[in-house]
Amino acid sequence: MNHDLIPKPITKFYRVKCQGCGNEQTIFSAASTRVKCLQCNRDLAAPTSSKVLLKSKVLKEFD
């Protein structure tokens, strides 16, 4: 009996809070470009080879 499941891609969304102005924004975990705060233009996340590097406070994660 083999019940191997096809692995789901590990993608999530992060609800983050900008440490500069407090703006809340949603970031995709597999973002391929730098994510900036829509309010103050501060970097919220930077892309890496596997997933984003978050530079802001994560409020919650969701799929």
Segment interacting with Zn ion (CB under 5 A) among 2-10, 11-19, 26-34, 49-57 = 11-19
Tokens 């802001």 label which residue?
Answer: 56
Cβ contacts of 3-11, under 8 Å, gap ≥ 24:
10/51, 11/63
Binding pattern to Zn ion, positions 14-43, x when CB under 5 A? ----x-xx-x-------------x-xx-x-
Task: Please answer whether residues 32 and 47 qualify as being in contact, where contact means their C-beta atoms are separated by less than 8 angstroms.
Answer: yes
The binding site consists of: 18, 21, 37, 40
Residues at the site binding Zn ion, with contacts judged by CB under 5 A: 18, 20-21, 23, 37, 39-40, 42
